[in-house]
Structure 1
Amino acid sequence: MRTILATASPLRRIFPLRQGARRCFSTSQNLQATWGFIGLGRMGYPMARNLRSKLPADDILFVQDINKAATSQFLEENPTGVRVAESAREVAEKAEIVVTSLPEPQHVSGVYRQMLEPATLLKEGMTQERLFIDCSTIDIKTSRSVAELARSTGQGTFVDAPMSGGVVGAQAGTLTFMIGAAPEDVERVTRVLSMMGRKVIHLGPQGSGLAGKLANNYLLALNNIATAEAMNMGIRWGLDPKALAGMLNISTGRCWPSEVNNPVPGVIEGSPASRGYEGGFGVALANKDLKLAIQAAKEAGVKLALGDTAKALYDEVEKADNCKGRDFSVVYRYLGGKE
């Protein structure tokens, strides 16, 4: 595993271009002139904005989303060097590096088929392969099928690069990316992701980034439930919530849900729990990632003791009127925790 600290400053060209010459793929000295970003959702929108802000002014970023209001707003807020593409195919035809951030596996599969079929993307004047970087959190099987489509048609290199850090990290440009890529592609991919995040962790060949992300989010989903149960338990035994959390966070029970995203209102100032469980990591998204991890584990023959039980609980939480649409720490409320 390689962890690379990403630089926040934009890459700069060293060799000047002849006037009128078309800039192509980056070498170690040059930046590419055309970029693409597909998926301007809660994560993708600020990521694309950060990418545009780090690019030289005369580079062009093509953006595309089925939500026309999102693309119109993006163009209005970022008028310099931005073009709105009518389709994913147009992005692939015009951009030399394409970043995608999409909700579900079927969206990733559909978008990449639009981009890669028919296999007639032009390569004229390109010094390196077209690069596709998918930052979506999807199942490993779908990601590998898309990678094979790109490879078998000879139209580019596909890398999985799911991210961690949430909407706040996307807005601040402090995301951590977990990438699955061939060693020779790591530097190039890192240079792109450095404009949208702080760290890039190379976990192995294509698919490895998603494997790491799903393993992490599986553990996160379970820790969130366990923390909610433990806090509820201690409070009902008469313990002060802040004292209990403080003890846990210097003891062996310490974890991200206990220390950073504690589910009890008032324990952590500014946390989702202290804001009525608004914002944060939505319970539906947490459950989606948990289901993807369970699916991938079963496909690999991994025995799970807690996954299905946790999934059943999150299914119930998603449906509860006072929990639906909230941060996943709202599990504490569903369990009857004192607020």
Structure 2
Amino acid sequence: MERKYHMKIAFIGLGNMGGGMAANLVKAGHEVRAFDLSEDALAAAKEAGCGTFGTAKEACAEAEAVVSMLPNGAIVKQVYWDDVIGHAPEGAIMLDCSTIDVATAREVIEVTEAHNYQMVDAPVSGGIAAANGGTLTFMVGGTEEAFKRAEPILNAMGKAVIHAGDAGAGQTAKICNNMLLAITMIGTAEAMKMAEKLGLDPQKFYEISSQSSGYNWSLNAYTPLPGVGVESPADNGYAGGFATPLMVKDLRLAMEAAETADAAVPLGSRAASLYEDFLGAGNEALDFSAIIKTY
């Protein structure tokens, strides 16, 4: 008996995040038509139950929805201009889950809508473990109608799907959120190391601050010091989690957006500078919480 699928979904970009996301769409009962430039990524997608294709154009043919998870805005534009528009059936819903600049997100949505598609920008928060576990948070920009079409697809890959506003609002929420994350991680690292140097046991500091006004996600849910607080990448040599180059990418996007909007971000700017220095010191393989090592 032929298997019946909920939807035919093209998935373009099967990296650390995209591979797990595509696998969760399969688990939700969708027919996933996967494409990536990496043969290893395609093999892993096939193992997870995806159909694999030699080109993005082929993956998009017959697709009712297209999900993309790509490295940057230039690649997003290239893929949509060359491989998606005119190749996916008219009326398909597009979901770009990449983290890119706000202006490019708005441009791609405008052009796809002019070609009789609907589209949302839907960047994610949660990292590789959440992508694999289907517990991502999606921040979504686009029309109410496009959001309602995209929502059930995103629900199959995440625990929270939030309509942030019009086109580009998802990217705005993502870069502002991650700028705040960078600031709080640096502040947490400074406070923990200062307490330690003043003779306070780090675990005691965690127990006190995590239940008082110093409470924050970087301390409580992602403690950057090994053996203290919750289990985190710090307890695994700062492997896994949210890699430093990805944080630097998001902070660069945040600084570009701040300049465009004439927004004052002195702490964000300082955090961006500190993470640029940390990356430049050869820490590209480490989780962003490893910045505590500089103290």
The equivalent of 1:53 in structure 2 is: 27
Tell me the alpha carbon deviations over residues 165-213 of structure 1, each in whole angstroms, 9 at most, x when there is no partner.
Answer: 1111111111111111211232221111111111111111111111111
1:231-310 correspondence to structure 2 within 5 Å: 231-310=192-271
Q: Which structure has the higher relative contact order (CA within 8 Å, separation 6+)?
A: 1
Tell me the alpha carbon deviations over residues 111-152 of structure 1, each in whole angstroms, 9 at most, x when there is no partner.
Answer: 1112245x46544xxxxx211101111111111111111022
The equivalent of 2:182 in structure 1 is: 221
1:64 paired residue among 35, 43, 52: 35
C-alpha separation in 1, matches of 2:89 and 2:284: 46
C-alpha separation in 1, matches of 2:161 and 2:88: 29
C-alpha separation in 1, matches of 2:73 and 2:214: 34
CA displacement at 1:38 relative to structure 2: 0.7
* Contact 2:195 2:205 survives alignment (8 Å): yes
Structure 2 length-normalised TM: 0.94
- Highest Rg: 1 or 2? 1
C-alpha separation in 2, matches of 1:238 and 1:178: 42
C-alpha separation in 2, matches of 1:45 and 1:287: 22
1:1-339 correspondence to structure 2 within 5 Å: 31-32=6-7, 34-55=8-29, 60-78=31-49, 82-116=50-84, 119=86, 122-123=89-90, 129-154=91-116, 156-321=117-282, 323-335=283-295
Mean Cα displacement is larger for which, 280-289 or 183-192?
Answer: 183-192
C-alpha separation in 2, matches of 1:279 and 1:101: 19
* Contact 1:62 1:83 survives alignment (8 Å): yes
CA displacement at 1:71 relative to structure 2: 0.4
In structure 1, list runs of 5 or more residues that go unmatched: 1-18, 24-29, 124-128
Tell me the alpha carbon deviations over residues 68-95 of structure 1, each in whole angstroms, 9 at most, x when there is no partner.
Answer: 22102321342xxx32122222222231
Aligned CA distance change for structure 1 residues 121 and 36 (closer, same or farther; 3 Å) = closer
* Contact 2:96 2:120 survives alignment (8 Å): yes
Aligned CA distance change for structure 1 residues 175 and 120 (closer, same or farther; 3 Å) = closer
* Contact 2:63 2:88 survives alignment (8 Å): no
CA displacement at 1:268 relative to structure 2: 2.8
SS at match of 2:277: helix
SS at match of 2:34: strand
* Contact 1:318 1:325 survives alignment (8 Å): no
SS at match of 2:167: coil
Counterpart code for 1:113: W
CA displacement at 1:243 relative to structure 2: 0.8
Counterpart code for 1:72: A
* Contact 1:116 1:149 survives alignment (8 Å): no
Counterpart code for 1:107: I
Q: Which has the higher helix share?
A: 2
* Contact 1:43 1:166 survives alignment (8 Å): yes
CA displacement at 1:306 relative to structure 2: 1.9
Question: Share of identical aligned residues, percent?
Answer: 38
C-alpha separation in 1, matches of 2:151 and 2:114: 24
C-alpha separation in 2, matches of 1:192 and 1:178: 13
The equivalent of 1:5 in structure 2 is: none
Structure 1 length-normalised TM: 0.82
* Contact 1:174 1:197 survives alignment (8 Å): yes
Aligned CA distance change for structure 1 residues 199 and 109 (closer, same or farther; 3 Å) = same
